[in-house]
Structure 1
Amino acid sequence: MKKIGLIIFCLLVSGAIQRAYAQEGQFSVGILPPILEINADPPAKIESIISVHNLNDNSRDLNIVFRSFRPSDQKNGQIEYLAENKIEGPDPLILQKIGIYEGERQVSKISLGPFETKELKMKISIEPGAPIGDYYFSIIFISQAESLGSFSQSILPGGIGTNVILSVGKKGETRGEIVKFSSPFFLGSGPVPFTLLLRNNSEHFIVPRGRIMIKNMFGKDAGKLEILPQYILSNSERYMRDTNQATSSAQTSQTLLWPEKFLLGIYTAKAFVKLSENGPNFETSLTFVALPLYIIFAISFFAFILLGIYLRVRKRL
């Protein structure tokens, strides 16, 4: 029994594993989908299509490499590759149960003609009684001119790949917490940046949902931010973004941004977070004060005038 889902929630990757371009147009290859989410109940035979596109008029020979990853310490969705052959998860042989097929033939390299597109099939075999757990790895198509020995643990230059999030068996209890919710206490004007850091203490990935509700000093609704659904891998932390920052240009942002520019008074912001469809749910709040600079200058100016008048009157008395 199996369930395979493709979703567009952002698991951000280092620049080399998105649509990749080497210097002087030497490497120009695209891939779909960029992310595969797979939930498998053992035993399972899983198949999924991966399309690789040569985007220029040069033929291309590509090696196929598997590499496990974990979230980077930046906590913004970027990933860090583990050493070759290192696996995180209960089954150290999991990558040996995964194959890439061109037609009916298992392959470890492919050739692409000018502007050619090839549809490959990824097959995963999960045996009965397979241990429950998550596995995170990339299927990377890399130029044969590149040397595996030259790769760092965070970037694979000259390559492009699909990130796979594989969850085997029934998920256990979802656990987590709001680690940090903050904003500047005093502001002269908007927009207002909020920092929301969530931690996933579960043994499986989660995709939290939620919102930030903002009220003014009269208790009236002043604004709302929807939290962008994003992967948080097992036992890791991630800064959240809002749905207005779903574009690639905002990929490394670590804040949610309320775009309101004119602000005046005391505001209360409350964050509501749901870690999964079945919970748990969390909420927390903060207060910030907004007073435009021109109002501060005006108040200071009139206060100075009043003080001068007071001193003159007092002197005459």
Structure 2
Amino acid sequence: MKKMKLLIAALFAAVSFTPLSVTAQQDPIGSGLSISPTRTDLVVNEGTSADLDISVKNVTGGNIIAKAFINDFEPDGVSGEPRLITDSNVKSASSIKDFIVGLEDITLGVDETKEVKMQIDIPVGAAPGAYYGVIRYQAVPVDDQGQITEGGQVALTASVGTIVLVEVPGNIKQQIEIKSLSAYLDDKKGSLFTQKPTHIGIEIDNKGNGFARPFGKIYVKDMFGKEVLSYEMNNTNPRGVVLPESTRVFKDPVEGIGKPGRYTIYADVSYGNGGEVYSVSSTFWYVPSWLIITGLVLLLAIVGLAVFLYRKYVTKSLKRRR
């Protein structure tokens, strides 16, 4: 009986104290912000200004200060994703840092959203062309009095940002060059594939001083001239941008490459108002491994048969001479 009482007491203690330990661990401060829009495109004349509105939401589990930063960036030359220039001593010739007015830190409660209103002021005499940068916010935890908590600078290191693209009208040169049109197997391009290609990619070089937003039709035909697939490239809203003096590869997943053989990719690409169209083409072969192996086996069989027949012929000739 005494053992039974001890067992019941132990179970009661376990049930009583377990929730307390869990509750003590259920007050984490998450990390994160959400921002919209993720990209803003503006055309601003010299000597004028334009509004720049951003919505920032606290998606952490506590109060924060959203620290504001502005960074120049450069393209990665492939996907168009920006690579931030974090060195404060380096300033891009296309920087928007001197144009932004009203960029400040903001305080946000749990799940609170604030509309941040800024301006882009383009001074008189600014050179026509493209300017760009990233406005970032980093969440730093604060207490109920709005003071940064100990270790808060380290606790939340992730940041969110919005890309700002500004074009100043004037003497803007618009020119693109299509560097390549290729089939890809995942990230590797080629002209001979033993597996079905997964993507079609077109590499475009922006040789102008403004933003290039290429668009057009890409289609593929088999060796018999039958169209097996077609799609509109860069068919997004807003369209993907190629920064001045940079290249970008527009890749799209494809289906329709079924039978082995030679295929030809065609592209009709334009930009701006669509007045000039660039037409290019390239070919690739899809020869699956099983077909290569079958071909080699047949070739070896033919060679073997030829050797056998030749030896048989030579043997018969020698017998006749005897």
Aligned sequence identity (%): 25
Q: For residues 177-206 of structure 1, what are the alpha-carbon distances to aligned partners after superposition, in whole Å with 9 as ceiling and x for unaligned?
A: 112333422223312544422111111111
Pairing 1:4-43 to 2, within 5 Å after superposition: 26-43=30-47
Deviating more after overlay: 175-184 vs 212-221: 175-184
Residue 176, structure 1, aligned to residue 186, structure 2:
no
**TM-score, length of structure 1 as denominator length:** 0.72
Distance 1:186 1:81, change over 3 A: closer
Query: Which 5+ residue runs of structure 1 have no aligned equivalent?
Result: 1-23, 101-106, 147-155, 243-256
Q: How far, CA to CA, are the matches of 1:71 and 1:164 in structure 2?
A: 14
SS at match of 1:241: strand
Pairing 1:287-306 to 2, within 5 Å after superposition: 287-306=283-302
Distance 1:173 1:280, change over 3 A: farther
Correspondent of 1:55 among 46, 59, 62: 59
Amino acid across the alignment from 2:82:
I
Q: How far, CA to CA, are the matches of 2:301 and 2:293 in structure 1?
A: 12
Pairing 1:32-181 to 2, within 5 Å after superposition: 32-72=36-76, 74-82=77-85, 83-84=87-88, 86-89=90-93, 95-100=97-102, 108-144=104-140, 157-170=157-170, 172-181=172-181
Residue 262, structure 1, aligned to residue 258, structure 2:
yes
Amino acid across the alignment from 2:118:
M
Aligned pairs, number: 262
Deviating more after overlay: 257-266 vs 211-220: 257-266
Residue 275, structure 1, aligned to residue 275, structure 2:
no
Match of 1:188 in 2: 194
Amino acid across the alignment from 2:249:
Y
Distance 1:134 1:306, change over 3 A: closer
Whether the 8 Å CA contact 1:52–1:119 is kept in 2: the answer is yes
Q: How far, CA to CA, are the matches of 2:286 and 2:97 in structure 1?
A: 54
SS at match of 2:97: helix
Distance 1:271 1:25, change over 3 A: farther
Q: How far, CA to CA, are the matches of 2:139 and 2:104 in structure 1?
A: 12
Pairing 1:202-217 to 2, within 5 Å after superposition: 202-217=208-223
Structure possessing the higher radius of gyration over alpha carbons = 2
Q: How far, CA to CA, are the matches of 1:216 and 1:297 in structure 2?
A: 23
Whether the 8 Å CA contact 1:199–1:238 is kept in 2: the answer is yes
Displacement of 1:48 in angstroms is: 3.0
Query: Which 5+ residue runs of structure 2 have no aligned equivalent?
Result: 1-27, 142-147, 149-155, 184-189, 317-322
Displacement of 1:261 in angstroms is: 4.8
SS at match of 2:163: strand
**TM-score, length of structure 2 as denominator length:** 0.71
Match of 1:3 in 2: none
Whether the 8 Å CA contact 1:66–1:138 is kept in 2: the answer is yes
SS at match of 2:285: strand
Q: How far, CA to CA, are the matches of 2:54 and 2:44 in structure 1?
A: 18
Distance 1:216 1:58, change over 3 A: same
Displacement of 1:263 in angstroms is: 2.7
Whether the 8 Å CA contact 1:190–1:263 is kept in 2: the answer is no
Whether the 8 Å CA contact 2:260–2:286 is kept in 1: the answer is yes
Whether the 8 Å CA contact 2:135–2:164 is kept in 1: the answer is yes
Whether the 8 Å CA contact 2:216–2:268 is kept in 1: the answer is yes
SS at match of 2:292: helix
Q: How far, CA to CA, are the matches of 1:127 and 1:223 in structure 2?
A: 49
Greater RCO (Cα-Cα under 8 Å, separation 6 or more): 1
Distance 1:202 1:306, change over 3 A: closer
Amino acid across the alignment from 2:32:
S
Distance 1:171 1:163, change over 3 A: farther
